[in-house]
Amino acid sequence: MADKYDVIVIGSGPGGYVAAIRCAQLGLKTACVEKRETLGGTCLNIGCIPSKALLASSEKFEDASEHFDHIGIDVKPKLNLKKMMAFKDEVVEANTKGIEFLFKKNKIDHLKGHGEIVEAGKVKVGKDTYEADNIIIATGSDVASLPNIEIDEKKIVSSTGALELTSVPKSMIVIGGGVIGLEMGTVWRRLGAEVTVIEYLDQILPGMDEEVRKEANKIFKKQGITFKTGAKVTSAKSGAKGVDLTLEPAKGGDEEKLSAEIVLMAVGRKPYTDKLGLDAVGVEMDERGRIHVDETFETSVEGIFAIGDVIAGPMLAHKAEEEGVVLAEMLAGQSGHIDYNCIPGVVYTWPEVANVGKTEAQLKEEGVKYNAGKFPFMANGRARAMGATEGFVKILADAKTDRILGAHIIGPSAGDLIQEVVSVMEFEGTAEDIARTVHAHPTLTEVVKEAALAVHKRPLHI
Ligand code: NAI
């Protein structure tokens, strides 16, 4: 038997590594188990970070190819995909090494290998068993597929394979018009692929504000993505030339055949709990295969906790991180709190899409009376100067108290702009609070202020 810890975290993604750092900061003797060679989990290795590197690089390529001419810069860019991928790999390496450094700095032991809980308080890693007062499961999620469709990561790829293609496919079919489908579809469209997105529902980006979804569909269509909504894929067969797909209307009807060089499967992710020993120790799952936890993140077994994608809630890195911090503080005897209504979501396309809080549809369903204020980027000087005038900011505030209930943005830097509203919501602030706050001119943030003014029907620049 090796050392005894206060906390062993299983998984080193954003949930796990942040939980480990916060535990160590609070004086708890902490170890983190990771089976991948590098730390950082899906997000740093094969998710958020490499996809953002490719999104940033492909955006520059498209800007140089399509948009520089308009502002008086004559260039003819040539794509060097190998170098673009090498840059992405460098970014990933710098980030994962960064976590190694943070582990050393905080004296967190990195236990390399697959972690299995053998009983409450005991984790087996390889041949060794380690003891801990508390175990945190932060094993994240894995790609989901469709029945009878096998992801081979060559022709039928998940986001992992889509980050590693060695040449630009002539055509790509994306199954799923959610976050991954739109981000990765955008990367390969910008680099030259003909991209078709097939979405089961009647509109892309489920769960988001209706107007934002429509606007996103319109903008991405204009950029060259073909959408087939209300359609479900029933089979996909890989052949020598590419992949043959069969789809049919979601509501039933005649079959259609499509083919493409590459198919990207982006129909969601599922909690990853393989070979963790949960059944044997009696950790209960919910009806959707997620680990069931109480409000302190404790599972049905005392001393075993879970955070991030393996439990309920949005599968987002920042949600997992916050849960990690809150849990660490509770384990150290402090109190912790997370407001699930204040978790922003961002889609890193161009323009970006971001949201927080309730949509109009949700408020209507809940019978809440609200005022909506909307302001377009078109009427903002800075957006015009940047040549980035598509989209709008929409703020929803309680009709009686003016408290902000939600915000929905499609437009340049939406992912950064949403944060102002998130902070105001955390402080239970109102639309009037934003409207009366000085915003620097000329900045995109003025669109948020104007949307807040529009809640009270007094925008200044429209
Ligand atoms: P998603 O849940 O965002 O989208 C999946 C889409 O596939 C949905 O629109 C769904 O209606 C559609 N779909 C399901 N079955 C289908 C079928 N048979 N045929 C056609 N369409 C079908 O899942 P996605 O994009 O795979 O992302 C997985 C997770 O990763 C999400 O929870 C997402 O939030 C997270 N993520 C977050 C990112 C970000 O914050 N920027 C980036 C990438 C992923």
CA distance 162 to 158: 6
Ligand 1 near 181 CB (within 6 A): yes
Chain segment 10-57, per-residue pLDDT in tens = 999 999 999 999 999 999 999 999 999 999 999 999 999 999 999 999
Percent of the chain exceeding pLDDT 90 equals: 98
Ligand 1 near 316 CB (within 6 A): yes
Res 3 pLDDT > 80? no
Res 94 pLDDT > 70? yes
DSSP conformation letters of 228-257: EESEEEEEEEE-SS-EEEEEEETT----EE
Q: Which residues pair with 262 in a beta bridge?
A: 172
Average pLDDT over residues 413-426: 98
Which of 269, 272, 416 gets mutated to test ligand 1 (max ligand atoms within 8 A of its CB)? 269
Residue 70 a catalytic site member: no
Ligand 1 near 198 CB (within 6 A): yes
CA distance 337 to 320: 13
pLDDT at 280: 95
From the candidates 318, 441, 456, 461, give the one annotated as an active-site residue. 441
CB 327 within 8 A of CB 343: no
pLDDT at 241: 84
267 Cα: distance to centroid of ligand 1 (angstroms) = 5
Cβ atoms within 10 Å of 20's Cβ, excluding its own: 32
Ligand 1 near 372 CB (within 6 A): no
Which of 180, 208, 265 gets mutated to test ligand 1 (max ligand atoms within 8 A of its CB)? 180
Ligand 1 near 315 CB (within 6 A): yes
Average pLDDT over residues 226-255: 94
Q: Which are the contacts of 214, defined by CB distance < 8 A and separation ≥ 6?
A: 203
> Measuring CA to CA, how many Å separate 141 from each of 84, 194, 268, 309, 391?
27, 29, 10, 6, 32
Going by C-alpha positions, the residue among 120, 116, 141 that lies closest to residue 312 is 141
- Kindly state the DSSP code that residue 3 receives in the 8-state scheme: -
Res 2 pLDDT > 80? no
CA distance 305 to 330: 11
Q: Which are the contacts of 386, defined by CB distance < 8 A and separation ≥ 6?
A: 412
pLDDT at 208: 97
Q: Helices marked H in 26-151 — which ranges?
A: 41-46, 48-62, 81-105
199 Cα: distance to centroid of ligand 1 (angstroms) = 10
Chain segment 368-389, per-residue pLDDT in tens = 999 999 999 999 999 999 999 9
CA distance 279 to 282: 5
CA distance 194 to 227: 11
CA distance 225 to 219: 9
Cβ atoms within 10 Å of 209's Cβ, excluding its own: 25
CB 327 within 8 A of CB 306: no
Q: What is the residue-averaged pLDDT of the chain?
A: 97
At 141, list the tokens: 């999620």
462 Cα: distance to centroid of ligand 1 (angstroms) = 36
Ligand 1 near 116 CB (within 6 A): no
Average pLDDT over residues 150-159: 96
Q: Which atom of ligand 1 is nearest to the CA of 179?
A: 25
Q: Which are the contacts of 340, defined by CB distance < 8 A and separation ≥ 6?
A: 313, 319
In the numeric block, the tokens 């993505």 are attached to 225
This prediction's pTM: 0.97
> Measuring CA to CA, how many Å separate 399 from each of 132, 362, 367, 372, 442?
51, 15, 12, 9, 30
Ligand 1 near 199 CB (within 6 A): yes
Res 447 pLDDT > 80? yes
At 329, list the tokens: 């503080």
Ligand 1 near 206 CB (within 6 A): yes
Q: Which atom of ligand 1 is nearest to the CA of 314?
A: 32
454 Cα: distance to centroid of ligand 1 (angstroms) = 32
Going by C-alpha positions, the residue among 262, 49, 289, 53 that lies closest to residue 158 is 262
Structural domains in the chain plus CATH codes: 4-141+270-338 (3.50.50.60), 156-267 (3.50.50.60), 342-455 (3.30.390.30)
Chain segment 299-354, per-residue pLDDT in tens = 999 999 999 999 999 999 999 999 999 999 999 999 989 999 999 999 999 999 99
Report the greatest alpha carbon distance in the chain.
Answer: 70
CA distance 342 to 364: 19
In the numeric block, the tokens 């520059």 are attached to 60
Q: Would strands 345-347 and 352-357 be described as parallel, antiparallel, or unpaired?
A: antiparallel
CA distance 280 to 201: 39
At 456, list the tokens: 């009270």
